[in-house]
């Protein structure tokens, strides 16, 4: 990522021109809470700001944004959310389930909009998708609910494989649920599941070393901030270990992973930006149903397939919404 592009998206919070700071008395302040690091979320932030602009808000013109990035340290999120509340922000946007939960627990009055890949009802964020209730609503792209489909895709590539691994961050709020869902999916295909926990890059290296030792060739990658942020490193490790991967995010396939299947994170971020704009204008979150994905993308990286020596069936290629050569 180019430095100029990064500064254009992130640096506005600290490098805003003086004239934009002149009179902030009538300008709302949005709290931005994210479990990841800004360096790996440029495309998501761009989409979110596009959504805000569609709703009539532009940072530095008629909106101030206070950024809080946990950089994968989820235990920092409650304090960050509490700080935004103390600063009396007009609303909070929270991305990732743990960030959304931190925001929900920090305030019952400030509006909160989330974007996440889990089920917000099971997470305890909203009462129902159609009637969120309380001060929180948002967008879900249900990445955790598509585990069985991802496993089926891997199994179709290598139907003789009897074992599949799941790369999981145990500190993620949805780790237990995702593990349970993957166990269920593996049983349906009569496959054995091996769960590899990782909370740091060192853990990632150890996890892929374990894959080589156990001769496991199929890997499901959880949609966690750690793995998304280090997707280039994960893709390199997978190639070195000769492991076929399937993840929730297109970005991981584009970085060199074999496949991805899921809803568009950037589209979810754009819709969340539009929702946040509506909330800033006074619409109550309880009156905004949680938005669900309407389109799912299946991406195959054929370059990676060739490097792994895999033959992707023509019918599977035809089903893909994007084939990376």
Higher pLDDT residue, 311 or 294?
A: 311
**Average pLDDT in the 119-129 region?**
90
Is the predicted pLDDT of residue 260 greater than 60, yes or no?
Answer: yes
pLDDT at residue 10 in the model: 41
pLDDT digits (tens, 9 = 90+) for 141-164: 876 668 889 999 999 999 999 999
- Return the structure tokens found at 210: 């374990």
Q: E strand or H helix at 220, and its extent?
A: strand 218-221
User: d(Cα 166, Cα 194) in Å, to the nearest integer?
Assistant: 6
Per-residue pLDDT of 221-243, as tens digits, reads 998 878 888 899 999 999 999 99
Residue-level pLDDT at 324: 95
What 3-state DSSP class applies to 3? helix
Distances (CA, A) of 120 to 98, 128, 191, 271, 272: 11, 8, 29, 16, 14
- Model pTM score: 0.75
Q: Which of 81, 90, 113 is nearest to 25 (CA)?
A: 90
User: What's the confidence (pLDDT) of residue 8?
Assistant: 47
In which element (H, E) is residue 4 found?
A: helix 3-10
Same fold, 3-142+264-287 and 144-262+297-324: yes
Q: What pLDDT, in 10s, does the model give residues 5-23?
A: 534 444 444 344 433 333 4
- Looking at 131-217, list the stretches that DSSP marks H as alpha helix, in order from N- to C-terminal side: 147-157, 175-188, 201-214
pLDDT score recorded for residue 283:
96
Domain boundaries, the chain: 3-142+264-287, 144-262+297-324
pLDDT of residue 211: 95
Please tell me the distance from the alpha carbon of residue 88 to that of residue 181, in angstroms, as a whole number. Answer: 39
Residue 78 burial (10 A CB sphere; 0-12, 13-18, 19+): middle
CATH of domain 144-262+297-324: 3.40.50.2300
Is the predicted pLDDT of residue 266 greater than 60, yes or no? yes
What is the average pLDDT value for the chain, to the nearest integer?
88
How wide is the angle at C-alpha 179 spanned by C-alphas 161 and 297, nearest 5°?
70
> Residue 25 has what pLDDT?
52
Q: Percent of the chain having pLDDT more than 70?
A: 91
Q: Encode pLDDT of 52-111 as tens digits.
A: 999 999 999 999 999 999 988 889 999 999 999 999 999 999 998 899 999 999 999 999
**What is the rounded average pLDDT of the residues 188-201?**
94
Average the pLDDT over 22-45 and give the result.
Answer: 82
Who has greater pLDDT, 296 or 287?
A: 287
Closest CA to 235 of 161, 158, 299: 299
CATH 3.20.20.190 assigned to domain 3-142+264-287? The reply is: no
- The whole-number pLDDT of residue 6 equals 39
């Amino acid at each position: 990522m180019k430095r100029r592009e990064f500064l254009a998206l992130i640096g506005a919070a600290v490098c805003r021109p003086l004239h934009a700071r002149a009179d902030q008395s009538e300008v709302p302040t949005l709290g931005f809470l994210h479990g990841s690091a800004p360096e790996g979320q440029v495309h998501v932030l761009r989409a979110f700001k596009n959504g805000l602009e569609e709703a009539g808000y532009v940072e530095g013109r008629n909106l101030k944004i206070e950024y809080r990035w946990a950089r994968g340290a989820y235990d920092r999120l409650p304090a960050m959310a509490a700080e935004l509340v103390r600063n009396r922000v007009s609303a909070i946007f929270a991305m990732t389930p743990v960030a959304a939960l931190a925001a929900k627990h920090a305030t019952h009055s400030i509006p909160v909009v989330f974007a996440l890949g889990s089920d917000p009802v099971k997470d305890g964020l909203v009462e129902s998708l159609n009637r969120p209730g309380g001060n929180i609503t948002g967008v879900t792209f249900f990445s955790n609910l598509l585990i069985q489909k991802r496993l089926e895709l891997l199994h179709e590539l290598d139907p003789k494989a009897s074992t599949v691994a799941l790369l999981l961050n145990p500190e993620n709020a949805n780790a237990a649920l995702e593990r349970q869902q993957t166990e269920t999916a593996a049983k349906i295909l009569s496959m054995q599941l091996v769960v590899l926990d990782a909370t740091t890059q060192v853990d990632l290296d150890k996890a892929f070393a374990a894959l080589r030792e156990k001769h496991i060739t199929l890997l499901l990658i959880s949609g966690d901030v750690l793995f998304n942020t280090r997707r280039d490193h994960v893709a390199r490790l997978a190639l070195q270990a000769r492991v076929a991967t399937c993840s929730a995010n297109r970005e991981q396939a584009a970085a060199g992973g074999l496949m991805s299947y899921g809803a568009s994170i950037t589209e979810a971020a754009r819709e969340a930006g539009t929702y946040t704009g509506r909330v800033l204008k006074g619409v109550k979150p309880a009156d905004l149903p949680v938005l669900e994905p309407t389109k799912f993308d299946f991406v195959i990286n054929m370059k990676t397939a060739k490097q792994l020596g895999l033959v992707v069936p023509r019918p599977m290629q035809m089903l893909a919404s994007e084939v990376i050569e």
